[in-house]
Structure formats: structure tokens, C-alpha cells
Amino acid sequence: MLIAVFSLTTLGLVLGLLLGYASRRLAVEGNALVEEIQAILPGSQCGQCGFPGCAGAAQALADGNAPITLCPPGGREVVSALSAKLGIEVNLADVAETMPMTAEVREELCIGCTRCYKVCPTDAIMGAAKHIHAVFREACTACGKCVEACPTEALALHPAPITLQSWYWHKPEERMAA
């Protein structure tokens, strides 16, 4: 019994020390910034940013190929940490809204110019020239490209309306401890 405990503990310790030493000795001098950014990101490898995992996203951020608002699950916290790390100013008020959004067309302003239609990456906008456009809510990912493209500011992002398909029971409200 004691021998078993002792030998297994020793084995674990020896292997741990060996691995620790090896990790120091064989450390790869990669880009330190990439590792720091990766430490900020959630590390859940969800891929919602379009990169293969948080390591890829960190690499793209360090290269300046991705906006610091790329991480949907990270929310405001990650964006503010990234903006502090990379020195990129970002309006946190835009990030704060974490509820699902969709683009919506204000029909009285739409002139049917099809500019939003052309920039939409998910083909979520239907319409034709000189016809009022409309947004397919199911296809819209709220990327905001149409909002920038619209010359009459007819497009804006709004919280997605709650339908029978998207409604869910709310979590119990957290009570503040006294």
C-alpha cells in the first residue's frame, strides 16, 4: 500500500519535473503578442469569428487582419481588454449589446438603390432596383455592412424581435447579495 502510494507519487513528480524542465528548455520563442492575445480570448474555440479556433484569431489580431470586436462570446470585456492591449480605440457602447440583432429597412427612407443588397454577405436582403428592400431576419447575421452602405440611413440594426421560434424562458434573475 505505502509502496504503491510512494512509487506512484514519485513517478508523477519525476515526470512532472521532467516535463516542466523540458517545457522551459524547449520553449519556442513565438510571437509573444500572439500568446498574450490568446490569453485574453475566451479559448472556447467556437469559431464564430471565422478563424479556426482562438489561436488563429489571435494570430490574425496580432497581424492586424481582424477587428478587435471579432469575438461574439467574449462580449464587452474581451473587446476592452483587446483595445487596451493593442491600443485600438473602439466605441464600447456598440459592443455592449449582446442580444441577437438583425438589420431592418425603414421603408419610408429606402430609395431602392440596391447598394445594401450588393454588400450583404449572406444574401439576406431582397429587392430590386427602385423597389423597397427588405431583410430576411433568418439569414441576417447583423454584420452591419448594409448599414454602412446605405446612402439614406434607411438601414439600422435592431434587436431581433422575439418570435415563437426564438423565444426562450429567461434565466432566473440574480439577486444582489446584501
Partner 1 sequence: MSQYLLLLLSTALVNNVVLVKFLGLCPFMGISKKVDTAISMGLATTFVMTMASASCWMLEHWLLAPLGIEYLRILVYILVIAAVVQFTEMVVRKTNPSLYQVLGIYLPLITTNCAVLGIPLLTTQEHLPFVAGLLYGFGSAVGFSLVLALFAGLRERLALAQVPSVFVGAPVGFITASLLALAFMGFAGLVSH
Strand partners, 157: 103
- Stretch of residues binding partner 1 (CB under 8 A), selected from 20-28, 70-78, 120-128, 139-147: 20-28
- Stretch of residues binding partner 1 (CB under 8 A), selected from 16-24, 63-71, 131-139, 151-159: 16-24
- Exposure string of 51-73, with b = 16+ CB inside 10 Å and e = fewer, is beebbbbbbbbbeeebebbbbbe
- Is residue 4 near partner 1 by the rule CB under 8 A? yes
Nearer Cβ to partner 1 (7/152): 7
- Chain centroid to CA 35: how far? 18
- Stretch of residues binding partner 1 (CB under 8 A), selected from 13-21, 79-87, 111-119, 128-136: 13-21
Nearest approach, Cβ of residue 152 and partner 1 (Å) = 48
Query: Phi/psi at 166 (nearest 5 deg)?
Result: -105, -5
- Is residue 3 near partner 1 by the rule CB under 8 A? yes
Nearer Cβ to partner 1 (10/166): 10
Nearer Cβ to partner 1 (28/176): 28
Bridge-based pairing of strands 125-126 and 101-105 is unpaired
Distance in angstroms (rounded) separating the CA atoms of residues 147 and 94: 13
Nearest C-alpha neighbor of 85 from the set 100, 105, 110, 64: 64
Nearest approach, Cβ of residue 85 and partner 1 (Å) = 25
Nearer Cβ to partner 1 (1/93): 1
When computed from its CA atoms, the radius of gyration of the chain, rounded to whole angstroms, is: 24
Q: Where are the beta strands (DSSP E) in the chain?
A: 101-105, 125-126, 134-135, 155-159
Q: How many residues sit in the footprint of partner 1 (CB under 8 A)? A: 13
- Is residue 23 near partner 1 by the rule CB under 8 A? yes
Nearer Cβ to partner 1 (26/93): 26
Residues within the interface to partner 1 (CB under 8 A): 3-4, 7-8, 11-12, 15, 18-19, 22-23, 26, 28
